[in-house]
């Protein structure tokens, strides 16, 4: 899934997915002014914790979510936490 956050003219793109080859949860953060960051997690719990931390960080840094999440064409094939 893709989420977009804005702060003025700055945009951050956050992508979440499951790597079916390695069975890892993947978080990709594309900051407008720096290199992309990719983080991998072995457990859903660790992944969920990190995504929630990032959400808080973006809010603290005055980024606002733009619209709802966009589903990637290949879809989410991992488990859900809710």
Give the pLDDT confidence of 49-71 residue by residue, as tens digits: 999 999 999 999 999 999 877 77
Q: What is the pTM of this model?
A: 0.81
Q: What does the alpha-carbon distance between residue 63 and residue 30 come to, in Å, rounded to a whole number?
A: 14
Total of domains in the chain:
1
Q: Evaluate whether residue 11 is within a structural domain.
A: yes
Instruction: Classify residue 19: in a domain, yes or no.
Output: yes
pLDDT at 82: 38
In a domain, 78, yes or no: no
Q: From 46, 42, 53, 45, select the one nearest 14 (Cα to Cα).
A: 53
Cα 47 to Cα 10, 34, 76, distances in angstroms: 25, 22, 14
Query: Does residue 46 belong to any structural domain of this protein?
Result: yes
Q: Tell how far CA 4 is from the center of its chain.
A: 9
pLDDT digits (tens, 9 = 90+) for 14-60: 999 999 899 999 999 999 888 999 999 999 999 999 999 999 999 99
* pLDDT at 81 (0 to 100): 43
The count of other CB atoms within 10 Å of the CB of residue 3 is 19
Residue 9: inside a domain: yes
Q: Does 69 fall in a domain?
A: no
Residue 72 maps to a domain = no
Could you tell me the pLDDT band of residue 6, with boundaries at 50, 70 and 90? very high
DSSP 40: E
Q: What is the domain range of residue 16?
A: 2-63
Query: With b meaning 16 or more CB within 10 Å and e meaning fewer, what string describes 23-46?
Result: ebbbbebbeeeeeeeeeebeeeee
């Amino acid at each position: 899934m893709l989420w977009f956050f804005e702060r003025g003219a700055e945009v951050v793109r956050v992508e979440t997915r499951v790597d079916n080859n390695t069975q890892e949860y993947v978080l990709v953060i594309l900051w407008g002014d720096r290199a992309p960051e990719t983080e991998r997690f072995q457990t859903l719990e660790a992944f969920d914790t990190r995504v929630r931390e990032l959400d808080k960080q973006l809010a603290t840094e005055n980024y606002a979510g733009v619209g709802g999440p966009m589903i990637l064409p290949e879809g989410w094939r991992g488990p859900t936490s809710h």
